[in-house]
Structure 1
Amino acid sequence: MMTLIAIQDLYQTTAIACFTVDDERRRILFSTNHGGSYDVWELCLDSLETNRLTFSNQHSSSLFTYDGNVFATFDRDGDEHYQWHRVMDDGQIIPLSEEENGSTAYFASFTSQGHIYYSTNHLNPLINVMRYDAVLGTKTLVQKGEAAPVVCAAVAPDESSYVYTESYSNTHVPAYCMVGGKAYPLIPDAVGPYSTQDVLYDGGDQIYFLTDYGEDFHYLASYKPSTGLFQKELSIEGENMKGLCKAEDELILTTEKGVRDHLHRYFPEDGNCTRIGAPCDTFNQLKATSDGTLLLLGSSAHASDAIYHMDLDGRWECLTPYRVKIKRVKPVAVEYPSFDGLTIEGILYRPDEPNGMTILWPHGGPQKSERLKDRPLLQYLALNGYTIFAPNFRGSVGYGASFMKQVEGDWGVGPRLDCVAGMDWLIAEGLVEKGRIAVMGGSYGGYMSLLLSGRHPEYFCGTVDIFGISDLISYVEAAPETLKPLIVNLVGDPVGQREKLVAESPITYVEDMAGPMLIIHGKNDTRVRPEESERIVGRLRERGIPVQYILLEDEGHSFSKHDNEVMVYQEIKHFLDTL
């Protein structure tokens, strides 16, 4: 007799969005939903005690401390309009700029002088870089975005220069060093699209950064503002560099290879690089304290989000013991050939007691990937007998720039056929029964679930769409002005490529869709408007296809509140159990 697992049993865990270190007070500040909704908490590094600092029930994407004061971004019920706030001693949060209400603050850089260099689309869809002075409480315009959205990536220790990026697409992000009002490219005379990420000043005249210029994977490079010299420092074959931080005289690098991440220690003086063992499979954030102690935020498919620190002996210790007690399903990585011979990697959850049903899970993004990370929904379903297959179709990250670019302008053909090839491979291996598959995904994964249901209904017995897109034309037209150039590059032009977008829109194939359907959306979703779900729900009901629609009044493009997440996961399981 199979032992069923309740979502409450699994969901004794927490998600951790981000963290920062307050060296002066020896504490870690982190954004977590441990209290039921997201708030900022502190963890004392000496006693390991935790305390809740805010009670706003809102998600934070960035944190900063200066002279004991705490600053954090917050959105409102998932609308992703993040604004910088000061956290008061009584837990209240006070916005730093009331006039920026309704706009969005993006990536920020911080200085030891108490300055926050942040990007905002307030008054400019191509984004302005602002500097907020935490001592004086004033803000100053630093740079206006003109050619493309700009982000301040790093600031020199003495603030004599800074590095900014321009985002033309997810695969074309050049970087420049601004010195004395003049911009110098970090890669002089660069030709063609390339991307830059994770910029780090090492003193005033040495800048380290990650780029894929001239190569398929990101590597470590350096630039000297005084001479304009660009230099490739280090690459690791088959691994894509994704992050770096400085710990005393060494650089700590994070890389991704397929569904896993890796850690490396690099010494610039002699060029020596060694791999470091990691406590989890995927990493969200890496930082070092002033004394060189490494702190890592990450998770595994069988272990939830946690912050770890490395001791003097090189051993990792978990600082946030919010862990699920029950045993989880440990998925495996698999590979299969797609329709054109391209090798696709995926993740397969195989329960101990399968119930005969399989879930195809196309990931969101689409320029993201399914990885060995904490997925409470997938664990909940796998522990209750569902086999789950998550393919990293073309366009996914972690497999090189050329692989990632294949989804640009091809949302509905190549990735869709990769998913179909994956199902055929599973069927041929005897792991899946055709017609006993449910397709489920969120965001782009919701779009792909709907499209697969309409284009290949013979495979499926039901569909779950979470925050998904039904009509590519209305999706592009309703995109925020800041993101519209990037979305047009990804999806296509609704004017010049209208016929193509119609052909790749799920709503075009409502007549052929496999029912029943469960569709879920957040009312405050600014990335994919709820009208995308409402439109296709209406069309499905007109055709007489059974469809259940859940509209979450206080959520956006993801879940920020435990109660909502638990309720939705229970509804999903109930829906799947009836198929």
Structure 2
Amino acid sequence: MNKYTIKDFLEIKFSGAPSFSHDNKNIAYLNNDNGTLQLYLINKDNGEIKQLTNYNCSLEFASFSPVENKILFGMSKDGNERTQFYTLDLQTNIINNITQVDAKHNFGGWSMDGKLISYSTNERNGTDFDVYVHNIYTGERKCLFDKGGWCESFGFSPNNKILVVGRFNSNIDGELFLVSLNNNQIQQINPDKQVLYMRPSWLPDSSGFYFVNDFNSDIPKLTYFNINKFEMNDVLIPKSNLAGVSLTNDGKDLALILNEEGYYRLYVYKVSDFSLLNTSNFPHGFIGKISWSNDGKYLTFSYQNSKKNPDVYVWEKETGDIKQLTNSNCSINKEIFVEPEFFKYKSFDELEIPSFIYYPKNKNINSPTVVYIHGGPEEQFIPSFDPLIQFLLYRGYVVVCPNIRGSNGYGRKYLALDDREKRFDSIRDLEYLYYNLKNNENIDINRIALYGGSYGGYMVLAGLVFQPEFWAAGIDIVGIVNLVTFLKNTSPYRRKLRESEYGYLDKNMDDLIRLSPINYINNLKAPLLVIHGANDPRVPLSEAEQVVEKVKEIGKEAILLVYSDEGHGLSKLKNRLDAFPKVADFLDKHLKN
């Protein structure tokens, strides 16, 4: 008899996205105790916790003012992703909505004097993101960059004279600009568009900054840009993906996150000679947002692994001690949780596909199996904490998580192997995963389901129609079934970025039609469960509706669950508690019964 229900797993809580207060005493963070992500405050020393917000919708980020007890946070309504900004004054508990235009806003950062924030917004035409600076006290704002495209602010120089702006031509290719706050003069750092850039970390005297990029490199590296000389010099070229960087306010210490085959490691370097500080205590798992205290003595970060739900931690530089600050609720004995094994398999062209496989605690031969396909496609499956995966393991399923070609974390060349007309190569990676699993005695090759969200949902549908003999069931969450209608109906500001990945409507129509599962629905044999949010701005609800309609037309089983207060995924606990028990029942029905 099973002691725990899926509800027990789904009600496990998460804490993350920490941000230090200006006086180094408190940390703001997000937690989902009430079913959506809300803002909390914890005292670094005594652990006292205070809940600061209680909305029906999840907050998306929180950032402390660098000079006072004021927190900026962002929130959108029911998954529509038209993020608005709010300030919370901890002295008065007054919350002010400072962006009131019904448009999408992307936060950039605070000025060092705490008067200005920077952000980009598509309010002008719904498509292009212009970059603004906004005085949070007077409400006055000024547009600094309106050159079109998806642009983001990467923050102010410490002397408030320069704003760094990124413009993205795809999710992995961009341009970097320096914009003068005094005269709006714009200088482009590097005209090469085939470069991934990440947010810079400035030296305190504003003479330059460190930033992550992959210019002339397959793997992201750390580079220093000298403002006066207007030149770049690489300072660290790691063997694995560099996923994040944060510099102390005094410019003496630099924290780096390295992605090592899907596991994140945190390292801290002394900038003067780039010697590594004693960080051997840092855990090996998934490390989220990192934030230094203003005095540079403490580093806070979120941490999780496959057996540990996310919590907020703090590292003290002087002692090297790591302290867990939050203790997010988990009513389940964590001894039942399972870690995956890493493996690689060869695809049709001998390319090795990095993957993870989870076996249930009581491993059996011929077990039902779920292939779990990540989204993106420029994302990566990492062995972080996933309550649904752990529930499936608890119920005796094997779970396999491939990072098929096109996944992030393995270099630019690997990332580009599925672009546009090469999309079918990634679909064949699924085929060769099946051949690999045939040799695993723990897996019943006749009882394998595909599960995926967003692009993972596309791969589920592609697998079911291009390899119908292989897969026993499919679960598609906010997935794409028709690349043509997806590109036509996705939010206008996303179309250019997505065309660079999938193909252009005016150039690649034949490929888009050829690679759309909707055109091969007659091949489908397996039952299908589709889940979608009505307000999805990325993959419109019409994608879910058309695939279910077509599947029913050919007399096959298709179930559609639509949630009116969700967008691109299910963020609210009440909806997850409705949807995922149905996912479990669907899998049991078709893989166990």
> What TM-score do the two structures reach when normalised by structure 2?
0.92
Which residue identity lines up with residue 342 of structure 2 in the other structure? A
Q: Tell me the residue number matched to 1:169.
A: 170
Matches for 1:7-18 after TM superposition, within 5 Å: 7-16=6-15, 18=17
Deviations 1:37-58 (A, max 9, x none): 2221111223212221112222
Which residue identity lines up with residue 400 of structure 2 in the other structure? F
Look up the SS of the partner of 1:373 in the other structure: coil
Look up the SS of the partner of 1:434 in the other structure: strand
Look up the SS of the partner of 1:468 in the other structure: coil
Total equivalences in the alignment: 572
Q: Please say if residues 130 and 143 of structure 1, whose CA atoms lie closer than 8 Å, have aligned partners that are also in contact.
A: yes
Aligned-residue sequence identity (percent) comes to 23
Tell me the CA shift for residue 350 of structure 1: 0.4
Moved over 4 A (4+): 88-93
Q: Please say if residues 454 and 513 of structure 1, whose CA atoms lie closer than 8 Å, have aligned partners that are also in contact.
A: yes
Which residue identity lines up with residue 440 of structure 2 in the other structure? E
Deviations 1:218-245 (A, max 9, x none): 11101111111211111112x1111111
In the aligned structure 1, how far is the partner of 2:193 from the partner of 2:142? Answer: 34
Which residue identity lines up with residue 247 of structure 2 in the other structure? K
Tell me the CA shift for residue 463 of structure 1: 0.8
Look up the SS of the partner of 1:458 in the other structure: coil
In the aligned structure 1, how far is the partner of 2:326 from the partner of 2:36? Answer: 17
Q: Please say if residues 177 and 225 of structure 1, whose CA atoms lie closer than 8 Å, have aligned partners that are also in contact.
A: no
Q: Tell me the residue number matched to 2:106.
A: 106
In the aligned structure 1, how far is the partner of 2:42 from the partner of 2:74? Answer: 19
Structure 1 unpaired stretches of 5+: none
Q: Does 1:300 find its partner at 2:300?
A: no
Q: Please say if residues 437 and 445 of structure 2, whose CA atoms lie closer than 8 Å, have aligned partners that are also in contact.
A: no
Larger deviation: 399-408 or 245-254?
245-254
Q: Tell me the residue number matched to 2:292.
A: 288
Candidates 385, 388, 392, aligned match of 1:374:
385
Q: Please say if residues 332 and 349 of structure 1, whose CA atoms lie closer than 8 Å, have aligned partners that are also in contact.
A: yes
Candidates 242, 253, 256, aligned match of 2:259:
256
Q: Please say if residues 460 and 476 of structure 2, whose CA atoms lie closer than 8 Å, have aligned partners that are also in contact.
A: yes
Structure 2 unpaired stretches of 5+: none
Q: Tell me the residue number matched to 1:317.
A: 323
Q: Tell me the residue number matched to 2:48.
A: 49
Deviations 1:149-180 (A, max 9, x none): 22111211111112111100122112122244
Q: Tell me the residue number matched to 1:384.
A: 395
In the aligned structure 2, how far is the partner of 1:519 from the partner of 1:129? Answer: 37
In the aligned structure 1, how far is the partner of 2:310 from the partner of 2:113? Answer: 32
Which residue identity lines up with residue 137 of structure 1 in the other structure? G
Which residue identity lines up with residue 330 of structure 1 in the other structure? E
Deviations 1:412-442 (A, max 9, x none): 4111111211121111233423221011111
Aligned CA distance change for structure 1 residues 152 and 438 (closer, same or farther; 3 Å): same
Candidates 374, 377, 394, aligned match of 1:363:
374
Candidates 542, 548, 559, aligned match of 1:548:
559
Q: Does 1:408 find its partner at 2:419?
A: yes
Q: Does 1:446 find its partner at 2:457?
A: yes
Tell me the CA shift for residue 379 of structure 1: 1.1
Matches for 1:368-517 after TM superposition, within 5 Å: 368-410=379-421, 412-517=423-528
Larger deviation: 563-572 or 265-274?
265-274
Q: Please say if residues 54 and 92 of structure 1, whose CA atoms lie closer than 8 Å, have aligned partners that are also in contact.
A: no
Aligned CA distance change for structure 1 residues 524 and 424 (closer, same or farther; 3 Å): same
Q: Please say if residues 520 and 549 of structure 1, whose CA atoms lie closer than 8 Å, have aligned partners that are also in contact.
A: yes
Q: Tell me the residue number matched to 2:22.
A: 23
Q: Please say if residues 22 and 64 of structure 2, whose CA atoms lie closer than 8 Å, have aligned partners that are also in contact.
A: no
Candidates 217, 227, 230, aligned match of 1:228:
230
Look up the SS of the partner of 1:575 in the other structure: helix
Deviations 1:186-212 (A, max 9, x none): 34xx54611111211112112110111
Candidates 356, 359, 374, aligned match of 1:350:
359
Aligned CA distance change for structure 1 residues 244 and 575 (closer, same or farther; 3 Å): same
Tell me the CA shift for residue 566 of structure 1: 2.2
Q: Does 1:116 find its partner at 2:117?
A: yes
In the aligned structure 2, how far is the partner of 1:18 from the partner of 1:513? Answer: 42
Aligned CA distance change for structure 1 residues 391 and 282 (closer, same or farther; 3 Å): same
Look up the SS of the partner of 2:486 in the other structure: helix
Larger deviation: 85-94 or 427-436?
85-94
Candidates 533, 536, 540, aligned match of 1:529:
540
In the aligned structure 2, how far is the partner of 1:222 from the partner of 1:83? Answer: 33
Q: Please say if residues 406 and 416 of structure 2, whose CA atoms lie closer than 8 Å, have aligned partners that are also in contact.
A: yes
Tell me the CA shift for residue 446 of structure 1: 0.7
